Amino acid sequence: MSKTSLDLGPLPELTGYVLRRAQLVVFQDFFQAFAPFNISPAQFSVLTVIERNPGLTQSQVAAALGIKRTNFVGLLDELERRALAERRQAARDKRSYALYLTAEGAALMRKLKPVLKAHESRMVARIGEAGRDRLIELLREIVGGPSSNGAAVRAAKAPRPPRPGSVAT
């Protein structure tokens, strides 16, 4: 074939397609940076939420991160197997578990702080501080939906509380 580039039709103008390509590039950098610690983006986000909000239930953490319950159980099993996080029986409801970091998990999170900072700096290097801020703003508006505007940004910063009845406490 003599072609040097392909016709991608509508794809390069499609929000979802370009989002996905960019997300894979950013995650690729994350994977490489965190490989020495064997920590994926999903694992990092779960450890972060547990670190910041000790004692939450599995359902609450999963809901806050938009992770499906079934995927979340596997994620947490792995973190528990590696002794980074632990489930403890919740005081109020014997059927649900409260999540905590172990001392090892807390130590790992401290070690990961500069790794995360360096990773994000590489992303900022690509589009500048102002570009990054605008990007995050636009992405939050997409997450928040068309009718919410200001509320959308707040919702992305601090996700809505679990719907009553849907989350064990």
Q: Give the contact letters, 52-91, x = binds to a copy of itself (CB under 8 A), - = no.
A: xx-xx---x---x-x-------------------------
| Residue 161 near a copy of itself by CB under 8 A | yes
Contact with a copy of itself (CB under 8 A): which of 14, 73, 118, 151?
14
Start-to-end C-alpha separation, the chain: 61
| Residue 123 near a copy of itself by CB under 8 A | yes
Structural tokens at position 63: 């809901």
Contact with a copy of itself (CB under 8 A): which of 39, 62, 85, 144?
144
Instruction: Tell me the C-alpha distance between 111 and 103, whole Å.
Output: 13
Structural tokens at position 98: 């409260």
CB of 103 to a copy of itself, least distance (A): 19
| Residue 32 near a copy of itself by CB under 8 A | no
Print the SS3 string covering 98-134. Answer: EEEECHHHHHHHHHHHHHHHHHHHHHHHHHHHHHHHH
Structural tokens at position 157: 């910063």
| Residue 165 near a copy of itself by CB under 8 A | no
Contact with a copy of itself (CB under 8 A): which of 25, 73, 107, 118?
25
- CA–chain centroid gap for 91, Å, is 28
CB of 2 to a copy of itself, least distance (A): 10
- Concatenating the DSSP letter of every residue in 31-84 gives HHHHGGGT--HHHHHHHHHHHHSTT-BHHHHHHHHT--HHHHHHHHHHHHHTTS
Q: Summarize as ranges the residues that interact with a copy of itself (CB under 8 A).
A: 1, 3-27, 29-30, 41, 45, 48-49, 51-53, 55-56, 60, 64, 66, 116, 119-120, 122-127, 131-132, 134-136, 138-146, 156-161, 169
